[in-house]
Amino acid sequence: MIERESELARKLTHYLDRGVAELRSGTLYRLQQARATAMAGVALSPATGAQLATAGTRSVSGGRFGTWQSPLRWLGVVLLVGAFGFGFQQWKAVQQVREFEELDLHLLASDLPIDAYLDRGFQNWLRTAFDH
């Protein structure tokens, strides 16, 4: 892996050097000054490995979505979870009503006499049959 990295660095250096040769001297001077300023800043505060690994990315606390410590964001998350929970409960209730409707439809469409519906044992059988 080190050999591949050194080969990549060599190729990259070659392309950068070729690009620098085409720049004007004033531009080269400004680039040298900017590099010197950047290197002076690095010398004052050495970067840790974690800072280098996340260079150029946005952090969790100050990135694209801001801080997650904001009460309004947490309120939004809680409301969203509550809405999903309420929607799921409503969906389950509708499913249960549909099951009852289907059972009623099957019972009414059958050829059982009315006395069977009034029989207490038949009602108990319906409850146990529907639970399974």
- How many angstroms separate the CA atoms of 75 and 68, rounded? 11
- How many angstroms separate the CA atoms of 65 and 77, rounded? 13
- How many angstroms separate the CA atoms of 31 and 61, rounded? 32
- How many angstroms separate the CA atoms of 118 and 123, rounded? 8
Mean pLDDT of the chain: 78
Choose the most confident range, by mean pLDDT, from 44-48, 59-63, 66-70, 73-77: 73-77
pTM of the model: 0.35
What is the model's pLDDT at position 3? Answer: 85
Range 102-111 average pLDDT: 82
- Assess whether pLDDT exceeds 90 at residue 79: yes
Q: Which residue has the higher pLDDT, 110 or 104?
A: 104
55 in Cβ contact with 42 (< 8 Å): no
Q: Return the domain boundaries, the chain.
A: 2-39, 71-131
- How many angstroms separate the CA atoms of 29 and 35, rounded? 10
What would the pLDDT profile of 50-68 be if each residue is shown by its tens digit?
A: 666 666 665 555 555 555 5
**Confidence band, pLDDT 50/70/90 cuts, at residue 83:** very high
